Structure 1
Amino acid sequence: MAKILIVVLALVAVAAAQQRKIGSAGLSLLKQSEGFVPNFYKDQIGLQTIGYGHACQWQGCAGINPPITEAQGTQILMKDLVQFEDCVNTAAPGLTQNQYDACVDFAFNMGCGAFQGSDILRNIKAKNYQAAANSFAEYNVAGGQVIEGLTVRRQNEKNLFLKK
């Protein structure tokens, strides 16, 4: 029985170690899209935010003492990204690094639930990658309004998704 438990724990450890992480292109896109703000501010939907899009309502802000440095902002971002990396790893295994990075950026911006219910994921699961790339453009609205910044971000995500 102990041998079986050791094997199972080893397999779990290997699986956890193989979880993909965002790459440099995805991190660069995310940082560019979010921008860095060293002090607390209200985002487009009124949430208290800091750094690279760290929303206090969802991620907590205890222990964050502004102004923060860009290095601190990157540390906070990397912690925040784990749940979105896990979301994409679970929902869409087998993507290229660039496809994965584009999806993590989308999930970070829109939420894991939005990614899981998106036409992007539906098309990925159907192995229709061009349709998945085209689907990014559908998600450029906030509060019933087309947002120019989201339109640009979705185009950048599409471009990264399609990059070889």
Structure 2
Amino acid sequence: MKLDKNGLEFIQNEEGLRLKAYKCPAGVWTIGWGNTYNLNNTPVKEGQVITKDEAVSLFENKIKLYESAVNKNVKVTLTQNAFNALVSFCYNVGMFAFASSTLLKKVNSKASLPEIFIEFKKWVHAGKVIIDVLVNRRKREIELYKS
């Protein structure tokens, strides 16, 4: 599967576009639409600036990795919106965290929607602190997943 227009826009809206590097709530330098690495796989650095065209290129290239991670790890048939929500989640938490998550296990075991949604809601921390932005993002991902 691939993200549709709705999924691409969902992630871009959740991440917001920043052309100058900033520290995300987890303390990681980030740029563009939530990218922590550049196209050449070097980490984003303090003071780094990119153009909108560079941000688009970075997003288009990086999003393929997250689509691939969801396609590789999910073993059940998904609706388009469930796929979109899982790619958004994966994009936010990282491919390795997604691949080892109980959320993925619940999806693959065809757990009930409430059980799956409980797992989404666990991913709201930066360190040990609950981040409101993540609480709200998970709510929107749940809404997208079930729509």
Q: TM-score normalised by the shorter chain: which range applies?
A: 0.7 to 0.9
CA contact (8 A) 1:122 1:132 kept: no
Q: Are residues 1:75 and 2:57 paired? A: yes
Which consecutive segments of 4 or more residues in structure 1 shift more than 6 A?
Answer: none
More helix by share: 1
Q: Could you list the runs of 5+ residues in structure 1 that have no partner in the other structure?
A: 1-19
Distance 2:26 2:118 in 1: 25
Residue of structure 2 aligned with 1:111, choices 91, 94, 97: 94
Percent identity (aligned)? 27
Residue of structure 2 aligned with 1:155, choices 121, 139, 147: 139
Distance 2:60 2:118 in 1: 28
The answer for the alignment partner of 1:53 in structure 2 is 34
Q: Are residues 1:86 and 2:68 paired? A: yes
Deviation (angstroms), 1:56: 2.9
Distance 2:23 2:67 in 1: 25
Residue of structure 2 aligned with 1:30, choices 11, 14, 37: 11
Q: Could you list the runs of 5+ residues in structure 2 that have no partner in the other structure?
A: none
Number of aligned residues: 141
The answer for the alignment partner of 2:105 in structure 1 is 122
Q: TM-score, normalised by structure 1?
A: 0.77
CA contact (8 A) 1:106 1:157 kept: yes
Q: Are residues 1:145 and 2:116 paired? A: no
Superposition RMSD in Å: 2.1
Q: Deviations over 1:70-109 (max 9, x none)?
A: x432221111111111110011142111111111111111
